[in-house]
A and B are shown apart, each in its own frame.
Chain A
Amino acid sequence: NAGVTQTPKFQVLKTGQSMTLQCAQDMNHNSMYWYRQDPGMGLRLIYYSASEGTTDKGEVPNGYNVSRLNKREFSLRLESAAPSQTSVYFCASSVGSGSYNSPLHFGNGTRLTVT
């Protein structure tokens, strides 16, 4: 019973490099989310996918792209990494469309450093 799995756990990038963060859930959830967590800022929503085939911007989408590959997988791509994107990235999923009355299940995060 893995829940939400994120890879990689750690990553160091140089400014300008690109990478994709992977996320997969095995709970048959409809909705998936990407958050970033910075010290003193709490969690901020980057992108979300209310259902397979749809994606929408959250609070801080600039510099990121997402793909909802299928119902299980939701990836986050940094096309040209910047030091401001140094953060811990969390993927989450929920049963319902959006999060109305539906708790989020989180992965354990990807710790990204951009130098």
Chain B
Amino acid sequence: SQQGEEDPQALSIQEGENATMNCSYKTSINNLQWYRQNSGRGLVHLILIRSNEREKHSGRLRVTLDTSKKSSSLLITASRAADTASYFCATDAKGSQGNLIFGKGTKLSVKP
């Protein structure tokens, strides 16, 4: 069963614009992680935010977490064509023995 659900399913923007993807989940979590997957490749870890954190930055990435709404957002600023990929949130639910549950992903297309 899916714990995290990303929104939108697909997003198309121009280079230089910001991209925002959202993730909602159902149960209490220990942490939430975001991953990127380029076509035909494995997933690459981007950022991890713990349940007691509200915001985290890494380069052009900004992640927020609202545990009261059970939601997270990933913002990519000043997007580049190389950011074209699918983005997944994954939650480490309390009581899950630490196993990550992945959402279905947001497919981001950044046009030059």
Q: Do A and B come from one complex?
A: yes
A100 & B98 in contact (Cβ 8 Å cutoff): yes
* A-side interface residues, number (CB < 8 Å): 30
Of residues 67 through 112 on chain B, the ones whose CB sits less than 8 Å from some CB of chain A are 88, 90, 92, 97-105
B42 & A45 in contact (Cβ 8 Å cutoff): no
B58 within 8 A of A: no
Query: Given the complex, which residues of B lie within 8 Å of A98, measured CB to CB?
Result: 92, 97-99
B48 & A103 in contact (Cβ 8 Å cutoff): yes
Mark interface residues in A77-109 (1 if CB within 8 Å of B CB, else 0): 000000000000010100011111111111111
B104 & A101 in contact (Cβ 8 Å cutoff): no
B99 & A99 in contact (Cβ 8 Å cutoff): yes
* Chain A, residue nearest B45 (CB): A103
Main secondary structure of the interface of A (DSSP, over half): loop
Query: Given the complex, which residues of B lie within 8 Å of A97, measured CB to CB?
Result: 98
A53 within 8 A of B: no
Query: Given the complex, which residues of B lie within 8 Å of A100, measured CB to CB?
Result: 30-31, 92, 98
Query: Given the complex, which residues of A lie within 8 Å of B10, measured CB to CB?
Result: none
A58 & B48 in contact (Cβ 8 Å cutoff): no
* Chain A, residue nearest B44 (CB): A106
* Chain A, residue nearest B50 (CB): A101
Cα distance, A93 to B41, chains bound together (Å):
16
B88 & A101 in contact (Cβ 8 Å cutoff): no
Which of A4, A43, A48 is the most central at the interface, judged by chain B CB atoms within 10 Å of its CB? Answer: A43
* Chain A, residue nearest B48 (CB): A103
CB of B1, distance to nearest CB on chain A (Å):
7
Cα distance, A81 to B107, chains bound together (Å):
30
Enumerate chain A interface residues (CB-CB to B < 8 A): 4, 33, 35, 40-45, 48, 50, 56, 58-59, 90, 92, 96-109
In the assembled complex, 20 residue pairs joining A and B whose CB atoms fall closer than 8 Å, in A order, are A41-B104, A42-B2, A42-B88, A44-B102, A45-B100, A59-B1, A92-B42, A96-B98, A97-B98, A98-B99, A99-B98, A99-B99, A100-B92, A100-B98, A101-B30, A103-B45, A103-B48, A104-B43, A104-B100, A109-B42
